[in-house]
Amino acid sequence: MIKVSGLEKEFKIMTHKSGMVGATKNLFSRKHTTVKAVADVNFEIQRGECVGYLGPNGAGKSTTIKMLTGILVPTRGSISVNGITPFENRKENAKQIGVVFGQRTQLWWDLPPIESFDLLGKIYKVPSSKLKKNIDNFIDILDLEKFLHTPVRKLSLGQKMRCELAAALLHDPEILYLDEPTIGLDVMAKDSIRQFLKKINEEDKVTILLTTHDLDDVESLCKRVMVIDNGKLIHDDSIASLKGRFGNYKNLELDLENDEEVHLPVGCELVRRDGKKIMVEFNTDIIKAPELITNLAGKHSLIDLSVHERPIEEVIKRIYQTEV
């Protein structure tokens, strides 16, 4: 479906000199520095996969998406999206993909969503009967009825994002690129969008590549995660393998009866303490949960306890720290 090999993208940035003298020199002598936004990235995504593409700001996520969509031309390397090279065949590529940028819009600001849908249908040459069927389907699934005839500028962020998803899928694309689709949304809006994305991925087999800083999106939607940092792909595997990359860690939350000093066995680390409530991180390769609980119960009076998987945020943070 999607195959990326040796992908690189470089940008030339002009070095400006300050002051009047510097401004004059800039007119006649321009110096540039080369910044490598994406460096030798390789991956394949199969039909029907939902893949999370993670990384800090400036890591190269959006640049990769823009090359996959054909907006940017790679400096080196190759891209094949369903047999098409995106930047060489932009129209053909556009027919098979849908794109949603969380901070950009494809809806007309002063028009109601229904009119934008009609215009997009004509742009993609969707037969009128098929377009009506798709619009009706999205109205039902995404609950668009109440604001379908309201100008986009008057919609809430969550309402606009639901309309953006519908607009991106009107022409039945096989691939959906999502760049921060839940940014700024409240909990209810995020959940609604996640349920919709899960439905089209599982039932319609739409291939999804998702970039996000909201790791709840990834854990609820994706089985596979790619992590990019400084333009380089540093992880490409399952979420489980990502969490196990630095050992099989879990968190133990304890509610103590007394505010006393806690003595931890080997393989454990105190993460947080708030009075009688503490959180301990432990490596299950060194000590198992039952053994740790028995150890602590023998030393301290416990009121309550719970064991949790280590949050994916902590795993990602450690990967970045390791790669620096």
Strand order from edge to edge, sheet including 97-101? 97-101, 175-179, 207-211, 50-54, 224-229, 232-238
CA distance 310 to 292: 16
Would you place residue 27 in the very low, low, confident or very high pLDDT band (cuts 50, 70, 90)? low
25 falls within a domain: no
Would you place residue 1 in the very low, low, confident or very high pLDDT band (cuts 50, 70, 90)? confident
313 falls within a domain: yes
CB atoms within 10 A of CB 237: 13
35 falls within a domain: no
264 falls within a domain: yes
**Which residues, including other chains, have CB under 8 Å from residue 232's CB and lie 6 or more apart?**
39, 40, 41, 60
Same domain, 82 and 178: yes
SS3 61: helix
29 falls within a domain: no
Same domain, 163 and 277: no
Among 221, 243, 265, residue at a domain's last position: 243
Calculate mean pLDDT across residues 194-222.
Answer: 89
Please answer whether residues 91 and 11 qualify as being in contact, where contact means their C-beta atoms are separated by less than 8 angstroms: no
- Supply the range of the domain harboring residue 110: 47-243
Same domain, 304 and 201: no
Calculate mean pLDDT across residues 87-114.
Answer: 90
- The proportion of the chain whose per-residue pLDDT surpasses 70, expressed as a percent, equals 89
SS3 56: coil
Please answer whether residues 225 and 235 qualify as being in contact, where contact means their C-beta atoms are separated by less than 8 angstroms: yes
Residue with tokens 């668009």: 144
Among 243, 267, 299, residue at a domain's last position: 243
Same domain, 154 and 95: yes
Please answer whether residues 90 and 149 qualify as being in contact, where contact means their C-beta atoms are separated by less than 8 angstroms: no
283 falls within a domain: yes
- The mean pLDDT value of the chain amounts to 87
Whether 22 has a pLDDT exceeding 70, the answer reads no
Domain count, the chain: 2
Indicate which CATH number applies to the domain containing 288: 3.30.70
Among 215, 243, 271, residue at a domain's last position: 243
Whether 191 has a pLDDT exceeding 60, the answer reads yes
